[in-house]
Amino acid sequence: MTDQGAGGGIESHMSTHRRQDSGEEPIPTEAAPETCSPPAESDPEEFSLPPQDLPRGSRKLSQKRSERSAREGTAVTPPQGLSRNPSTCSTSSNARPPAEYYPSRTIAREQRSPLPTLHLFATAPPLEPPVTKATLSELDVQKIVHNPKLRHDINFDPELHFRPNLDGDKGRRKQEKANQFWNTLFDQLMLFVMDREAFHARYGHGEWCLPALLRAVRDIIETLVPQRDRDLLNEGLNVDLLMQQFNRGVADLEKLASWLASVLKLHCAPMRDEWVDEMYQELSNGNRNNDMTELVKGMRSLLSVLEAMKLDVANHQIRCLRPVLIEDTVNFEQRYFVKRMRSTDLPIAPARRWYRSAREDTERLYAGSSMPYLHAFGEMSVFFEGLSRLVLPSTRFDVVPQTFLVFDEDRILKLRSDMHDSICLEICMRKFEDLDRLSRATQLCARIPSYVADEAAGSRFSSDFNFMAAGASRPSSLAFSDRSSSYSSPRTSGVFFAPPVSDSADARSRAAELYSSLLALLHTAPPASSPAERWMGLAGPAALQILRYANAPTSLPGFERQLAACLDDAKSDLFREVESHLQQRLLAELARRVSEFKNLSGVALFSYATGCGGGGGGRAQGPLFVEPSRDPREDAGVADMAVRLAHLGVLHWRVWAPLAFEGDVVGELNVMQPSMI
């Protein structure tokens, strides 16, 4: 649950994506679920009169009336009655709002001047409540089915849902505006209590926060209840009548709070009941005790419950509409992109050039030989060959076609980041193997008999290898047997150069532990602007772990600097060697996944690629995905990257192949344009 900011900005969230608004498109033929039916609730019955007892587990409220504390030595006589307002604490899928989402400034009577003066409000314009029908309008089903970014993201994120957007500077400004509204309401209510004449002089014939808030509450509830109940809603929440009663000090806010609680409980999910009870208790206590702090708190809770109910309905609609929206993705997006191409808003010439370049590179790479995985990829062979290169760190990001950047930029960036991480992890492991081999050779040399050392004097040994060289990798000059070595003899190679089996098992165990520790370092690394920057910060801790597991001196001069140089230089021989190795593994895994995905329907593709065939989350574990468990280093995240890239690629090909890669929609539109005039 979150505290909604300055009115609006509800966003949908999936693993890593943000929605954008767009022009209207036709709605799928299947009927959308009714907006007024929130999850886990049956059709509500007709509204009844305000109940004396709250439905579904309400609490018995304390009947004790507390006395007002004196301010500046002067006792204050409370008015006969006072009306209360909703709240602005925002909601998410939890049953209760966590504390961090309450406003940053807690309203405390002790911190305010005892008698607000008129100049505080002399020039203040009327404020809008933080949550209104307008700010929640993008949760309406019409907005959902016409939002192309949301409809694209729903293909990839099984957990996609709406939540209030309070991130970044925009979210901070919303929070500040929300706090400003509630503080202003508190001041206005205090003025009403402390100086009724001054209040009527200022607000007797004008708009102020309380009536604006009550109208916002009524408008939001209208979107949550069936049409047949809206007349009763207007009778029970007649804002003009309530304000007249309030100004005369005869408004029964406790009765209003009880009636609102009964209405909300008829239409909200059961998990919201406890929250509704708290709202009622806060409003009732504030009314009985003339406690403005408690009163405003209850109003915040009321508005928060309404926002939570609206989010519940929207997320329920997403779950119901998901199969229809996914199955209609290709048709919907093609119409959307053709409309944008007609208005020259989306140039596709760069995408066509990229595809032609990928074809030329593929023909040059496999000249005179058959292209691997041709049968698995089918007509998409060139496309996936080029797509696999787009996720490599050595490929500039500005080469990525615009067709991918419209909706899939975040996914492409995440794949490139994961590939960079896999390459750097493999470089670290290779450096460990080199250092471990050198360390073991040094230990063996310390135990060489004197006659062997004399015989080997003048021979090129491991000390001749400059391990600190930036381009150094596996030192092939270290020969541990009499094969392919001009420096070994039967006597030396047979005595100590054959490592025992136990040593090999120990090396494998230490390598596995090192890989796990490097993964832990990576997962706990602070945020960085790019993967390269992240690994530059990890070079020192990674070097220390490598030296530790290789049984080498932890103060080996220059090793950290040499490791950082290897991780930072994407053009170095070692980096390109590892990158090429992982690309070939990715291509092999891609071929397997694409052959499984290419004939699936939209919903089946989503189910298998995201692992939601059985309703669960995570990657697919169905019959297409049964595979033995792999060593983490052996897998290197390639299997997961292949599933994600195959899913993205197959869907992208279905949309764009007839528009840009194999067809020429722009040319057809140019031909059709004169005939349409």
More confident residue, 253 or 9: 253
- Is the pLDDT confidence value at 616 over 80? no
Residue matched to tokens 């989350």 = 617
Amino acid at 461: F
Q: What percent of the chain has pLDDT over 70?
A: 67
Mean pLDDT throughout 619-634?
Answer: 54
pLDDT above 70: residue 118: no
DSSP-derived secondary structure letter, 77: P
pLDDT at 220: 93
Place of tokens 């040593």: 503
Q: Which two tokens stand for residue 14?
A: 């999936």
- 612-647 per-residue burial string, b: 16 or more CB within 10 A, e: under 16: bbeeeeeebeeebbeeeeeeebebbbbbebbbbbbb
* Contact between residue 38 and residue 199 where contact means Cβ atoms under 8 Å apart: no
pLDDT at 618: 44
pLDDT grade for 112, boundaries at 50, 70 and 90: very low
Contact between 318 and 144 under an 8 Å Cβ cutoff? The reply is yes
Q: Write out the DSSP string of 344-376.
A: TSS--HHHHHHHHHHHHHHHHHTTTSPPTTHHH
Judged by phi (left if over 0) then psi (alpha if -120 to 50, else beta), residue 187 lies in alpha
Gap between the Cα atoms of 189 and 290, Å rounded = 10
Cα dihedral 257, 261, 262, 263 sign: positive
**Largest alpha-carbon pair distance within the chain?**
112
Q: Which helix (H) or strand (E) holds 11?
A: strand 10-13
What b-and-e string marks burial along 390-412, b requiring 16 or more CB atoms within 10 Å of the CB? bbbbebeeeebbebbebbbebbb
Beta-carbon count within 10 A of 4 CB: 32
The answer on pLDDT for 143 being more than 80 is yes
Give dist(CA 413, CA 244) in Å, integer. 58
| Average pLDDT of every residue of the chain | 75
Can you tell me the mean pLDDT for 13-26? Answer: 42
Q: How far apart are CA 579 and CA 426, in angstroms?
A: 9
User: For residue range 277-286, what is the model confidence (pLDDT) as tens digits?
Assistant: 999 999 999 9
* Pairwise CA distance, residues 195 & 552, whole Å: 80
Alpha-carbon span 276 to 282, nearest angstrom: 10
Q: Which of these, 431, 666, 378, 408, lies nearest to 539 by C-alpha position?
A: 431
Q: What is the pLDDT of residue 309?
A: 93
d(Cα 578, Cα 143) in Å, to the nearest integer? 46
Of 422, 635, 389, which is closest to residue 531 (Cα–Cα)? Answer: 422
Q: Is 116 exposed, middle or buried (0-12, 13-18, 19+ CB in 10 A)?
A: buried
pTM, rounded to two decimals = 0.70
Cα(346)–Cα(331) distance, integer angstroms: 18
pLDDT, position 214: 93
Alpha carbons 661 and 465: distance in angstroms, whole number: 51
Parse the chain into domains and list their residue ranges.
Answer: 10-59+74-327, 346-394+575-676, 428-454+461-556
Percentage of the chain lying above the pLDDT 90 cut: 41
Query: What is the enclosing helix (H) or strand (E) of 385?
Result: helix 381-390
Q: What is the pLDDT of residues 438-486, one digit of tens each?
A: 877 776 665 555 554 455 445 444 444 454 454 444 444 333 334 444 4
Residue given tokens 């869907």 in the structure block: 651
The DSSP result for 157-198, as a single string, is -TT-EEEE---HHHHHHHHHHHHHHHHHHHHHHHHHHH-HHH
Neighbour-count burial of 1, counting CB atoms closer than 10 A to its CB (0-12 exposed, 13-18 middle, 19+ buried): buried
Whether residue 322 contacts residue 153, with contact meaning beta carbons closer than 8 Å, is answered with no
141 in the Ramachandran plot: left (φ > 0), alpha (ψ -120 to 50) or beta? alpha
Question: CA 158 to CA 139: how far, in whole Å?
Answer: 18
Cα–Cα distance, 24 to 126 (Å, whole number): 33
Residue 297 has a pLDDT of 94
pLDDT tens sequence across 52-66: 344 443 433 333 334
% helix / strand / coil in the chain, to the nearest 5?
Answer: 60, 0, 40
Closest CA to 528 of 568, 559, 561: 568
Mean pLDDT of 552-576: 85
Which pLDDT tens digit goes with each residue over 292-333? 999 999 999 999 999 999 999 999 999 999 999 999 999 999
Cα dihedral value 605, 606, 611, 613, nearest 10: -80
Radius of gyration of the chain (CA): 34
Number of other residues whose CB lies within 10 A of the CB of residue 494: 12
d(CA 208, CA 203): 7
Mean pLDDT throughout 386-414?
93
Render pLDDT for 257-266 as a digit per residue (tens, 0 to 9). 999 999 999 8
The length of the chain is 677
Flag the least confident range among 404-413, 467-476, 588-597, 649-658. 467-476
Helices H, strands E: what count in the chain?
26, 2
Q: For residue range 337-363, list pLDDT tens digits in order.
A: 999 988 877 888 899 999 999 999 888
